[in-house]
Structure 1
Amino acid sequence: MHYTIVTESHEKGGFTARCVEIPKARGHGSTQGEAIARIKEEIEQVRQAQNAELHSIIASVHSEIIKIEVADSA
């Protein structure tokens, strides 16, 4: 997946990286590359938590995913 990252430099040094699609995800570092590496880790943690929550919801409601095929009408 692709995410939009905004980096900001600070007057006292260092960088902050923010993710537009996941506002709570932030990464800080002494260099821009470090801040980006940390935001990638944050995004991965958010995605893992979202996946775990989704699987928990699916399991709790005893739902089932079924694929069907529908014939074209002629």
Structure 2
Amino acid sequence: MQYTIVLEPNDAGGFAARCVEIPGTVCQGANKGEALARLKEAIGHVQQAWQADLHRTIQSISSEIIRIDVAEAA
């Protein structure tokens, strides 16, 4: 899965990286690579939380849950 990342230099040095599709997911690092590595780890934690929440939902209801593909906006 791909995400849109905004990478910006900090005034005090280093870089900040944020994920556009996951509001509030922001990480900092001494360089671009470190900021991106931290953000990638944070996104992984968010995905795990989403997965756990989905499994709790499936177990607690009798509704059908399906996946669909949606084309990206131009």
Bin of the TM-score, shorter chain as denominator length:
0.7 to 0.9
Q: Deviations over 1:3-62 (max 9, x none)?
A: 000011012101100000001111110001100000000100000000000000000114
Identity %: 55
Match of 1:56 in 2: 56
Q: Does 1:43 align with 2:61?
A: no
TM-score (norm 2): 0.81
Backbone CA RMSD of aligned residues: 1.3
Q: Distance in 1 between matches of 2:25 and 2:6?
A: 11
Unaligned runs of 5+ in 2: 66-74
- Aligned residues, how many? 65
Unaligned runs of 5+ in 1: 66-74
Q: How does 1:1-74 map to 2 (within 5 A)?
A: 1-63=1-63
Structure 1 segments, 4+ long, off by >3 Å, are 62-65
TM-score (norm 1): 0.81
